[in-house]
Chains A and B, each alone.
Chain A
């Protein structure tokens, strides 16, 4: 038995050496937990309410951006005086598609070009992509994070469960203006009169 981990093993039959009770207990308990994690992960896919595997399609960047522009053209909101609603210096359009509709969002250096408006508790199909380089879609404050890539349409169905103002932040380095990318999203509840106030906030609900 007189050797260490940096010396050759003199015994010829170390393969047959007894495995101590400590290791047997630990391997059993540890692997049992590993299997719990495996079963839980697969189970959550079928039973759980949050799964980002989704679907994805190869698209062309131009084709995708066209779809986004069409969506903006058709569904950009207007305010009480009939003006198109937009926010920020770069006039980012506020867009509300019909309940259950498709929302196209192509992040680009260095902005989120759409401010979507969603109804509470309704399912929307998001098409997430990029118009140039990799971007990180980080939806705050709920902290949902996805990778956006040019040429890929990442399709996920979102069902918001709380009204309020949400934020997008880019959390994949996308160039020297990466830290400028803060976007916005509203979740309203028309039935309970929690709606846009036209000044960048919502009435009735919290900020």
Chain B
């Protein structure tokens, strides 16, 4: 990468492999955040495995109270702590290195890091002590210990402050003219991420501060519907924040591995802007089967003001693989529809994890998310096993898999240490991606048959009125939990490799730990074609377009299949 003008060179280290300049405080901050995040993935993953081994009917490992404790802890540790601590570390990199900027106020960044650590630890400990067995969502009037709410508040504040640091960094870089032209797409995605995250964490304060006061007896009542409205403005949004960051990571990995750029800057940036304006409305997906809101209000919000955010995601769905396809075709892999994909580096976990993340997020998380956010269909999936099935499609096989793939490049890059246990690393993305997709698909199937979420015993062995689900439901649950266990092994391999890398020795000068950044596709094309970039006529990325059309076909069929079933049940008005 060329670095024309580097102001304040004493504040930077230049990566000998990639030539990228990294602001010194960013290195330490990124290391601390990612290490902590991976520890939470380990804790949350272990709890998740216990949950899986309990819902696996033949094993039914934990007693009921421990199961609900493990489930609460699993949700908090991975949905909140793993994803969001990781993201802050990566965001500091994206808002500095690509534009040669220095991070604004590193001291405050450290302060907010420790706030996140203290808050998340406090919340986790209260859950593990059995003082907050209220699930991650903690709907009042179920009440937890005040320190649980305080922990979440401290974490939210700790996650909020970095967003202002990111904004300040970008403003400072602009003023200091650290870069020429427009900011890179990765940095732009990070900017959108920061703005959405500000809304998100402010909602966290709005809902958890009164809830804390209520748990201390200072407020008499928290309206349960109001709580669910504001809580999901926090919690759904935290996942939208994840999406913003993992899509930013997708674009970056396409650049790092293939020298890709988006097909068109304007289109990809507009897709992010659609997120900025419409993504948060999706919080209402959680309230579609609640009392207390009108059809019109539900329609406006659940459709993201006319499916604008869905359009944004569908655009990324074309332009991310499209960017790779175009770059590969310019490298000469131009035969047929899919040579560019067949001859991609599938043996490299950075690529295989990344591409699986794109496919699974679209086919498992995306299709099902769009379908279940239909107002009426929501009624036949709300709170069933379908819901965790869906969000493991988004958060596990989408976000987490993207973060794993990125870590295999990023952690050696910031630690100057060779990736530990590369074979485990390679297997980890396949085991996690495949295992978690099996879990998602089969748990959703069980949900279609009515299996409830957050449930210790769907055989109702101790219930006053006897009831049991069909053998099919138990079979589907079993397969799902086998998938979850395999995914857990994959996550463990990832953790071993990354923590091993953190513990490893720095390589000597002159030894390479990460591959060089791929040359920009335009440069390659110009070299191959004698000095000028060829003007491609007709379709530029037919393979990606075919994949997208396949996704759309699945979505259309699946969407109407739900209505076909729903039309057969009771009249409900």
Chain A residues within 8 Å of B, Cβ to Cβ: 1-12, 14-15, 17-23, 25-27, 29-31, 33-35, 37-38, 40-42, 44-45, 48-54, 56, 87-90, 92, 111, 123, 128, 132-134, 136, 138, 140-147, 149-154, 156-161, 167, 169-176, 178-184
Contacts and interface: CB of A to CB of B under 8 A. Distances in A.
User: Which secondary structure characterizes the binding site on chain A?
Assistant: mixed
Contacts of B142: 133-134, 173-175
A145 B569 contact: no
B291 interface: yes
Given A143-B381, A184-B467, 10 more contacts: A5-B185, A5-B260, A34-B310, A40-B374, A145-B379, A149-B224, A157-B572, A158-B570, A170-B452, A172-B383
Most buried by B among A4, A29, A54, A143: A4
B352 to A, nearest CB: 20
Contacts of A179: 64, 455-458, 460, 462-463
With a 10 A CB-CB cut-off, give which of A20, A40, A143 has the most chain B CB atoms: A143
Contact of B141 (A23, A45, A150, A172): A150
Interface string B74-110: 0000000000000000000010001100000000000
18 contacts: A3-B520, A4-B255, A5-B252, A5-B255, A23-B267, A30-B314, A33-B555, A37-B374, A40-B374, A50-B379, A142-B570, A143-B380, A147-B290, A159-B572, A161-B571, A173-B135, A179-B460, A179-B463
Contacts of B549: 29
Contacts of B224: 133-134, 149-152
B379 A144 contact: yes
A12 B181 CA distance: 6
Given A8-B181, A19-B267, A34-B310, A88 B384 contact: no
A175 B426 CA distance: 41
B417 to A, nearest CB: 22
B261 A3 contact: yes
Interface in B363-410: 370, 374-376, 378-384
Contacts of A3: 184, 261, 520, 522
A49 B454 CA distance: 30
A12 B1 CA distance: 20
A111 B464 contact: yes
Given A7-B520, A41-B303, A145-B383, A22 B318 contact: yes
Given A152-B224, A161-B570, A169 B450 contact: yes
B414 interface: no
Contacts of A159: 570-572
Interface in B272-319: 287-295, 298-299, 302-303, 306-307, 310-311, 314-315, 318-319
B323 A5 contact: yes
A142 B569 contact: yes
B266 A2 contact: no
Between A5, A21, A53, A140, the greatest number of chain B beta carbons within 10 A of the residue's beta carbon is seen for A5
Contacts of B342: none
A133 B291 contact: no
Contacts of B302: 41
Interface in B327-365: none
Contact of B552 (A17, A18, A30, A158): A30
A49 B186 contact: no
A153 B555 CA distance: 35
B465 interface: yes
A159 to B, nearest CB: 4
A68 B183 CA distance: 63
Given A30-B552, A175-B142, A154 B462 contact: no
Contacts of B264: 17-20, 23
Given A50-B379, A171-B454, A5 B294 contact: no
A29 B134 CA distance: 44
Nearest to A128: B291
B549 to A, nearest CB: 8
A90 B544 CA distance: 60
Contacts of A27: 267, 311, 315
A141 to B, nearest CB: 6
A27 B539 CA distance: 14
Interface stretch (B30-38, B433-441, B559-567): B559-567
Contacts of B457: 179
Given A21-B540, A146-B379, A152-B292, A9 B184 contact: yes
A22 B537 CA distance: 11
B56 to A, nearest CB: 15
Contacts of B10: none
Interface centre among B464, B555, B573, by most A CB within 10 Å? Answer: B573
Contact of B374 (A26, A41, A88, A152): A41
A22 B267 contact: no
Nearest to B303: A38
Given A9-B181, A89-B464, A19 B450 contact: no
Nearest to B302: A41
A133 B538 contact: no
A53 B185 contact: no
A5 B381 contact: no
B568 to A, nearest CB: 8
Contact of A5 (B99, B139, B186, B288): B186
A49 B571 contact: yes
A89 to B, nearest CB: 5
A147 B68 contact: no
Contacts of A90: 464
A66 to B, nearest CB: 19
A45 B259 CA distance: 48
B263 A20 contact: yes
Contacts of A143: 380-381, 384, 448-450, 569
Given A4-B520, A147-B290, A170-B452, A10 B379 contact: no
